[in-house]
Amino acid sequence: MKKWYIWYGLSGLAGFADALYLTISHLRQHTLGCSILTGCDEVLTSIYSEIGGIPLALIGVVYYLMLIAGAIAWYQTRKKGWFSAILSVNIAGFIASMLLVYVQWALIQA
């Protein structure tokens, strides 16, 4: 458990950058430059891309900021409670991601 904060911090930073890019693209209605994968624009502009007018990518930005903040708090305090908190957030994010993959493949067919 000693170095997990590094993994959470780095993966949170990568996810934050991606979610921020997707949020900006969604709000500006830019097309995405997908090279290998197709259907990126269909996903970003579908009816499933927002909840109550809030882009899902923006929710991702908040999610990844929570992971980064949790990793920093864990690093500074070394309290196991922070590990449990970010692990819980991570599990919730994984479940949400699996649901979104289902929406992408089964409903949007992208």
Mean pLDDT, range 88-99, rounded to an integer: 90
pTM above 0.85, yes or no: no
Confidence of residue 16 (pLDDT cuts 50, 70, 90): very high
R_g of the chain, CA atoms, integer Å: 15
The domains located in the chain, with CATH, are 4-108 (1.20.1440.130)
Compute the C-alpha angle 46/50/52, nearest 5°: 135
CB 34 within 8 Å of CB 28: no
Using one digit for the tens of pLDDT, what is the confidence trace for 35-78? 666 667 777 778 888 899 999 999 999 999 988 888 888 888 88
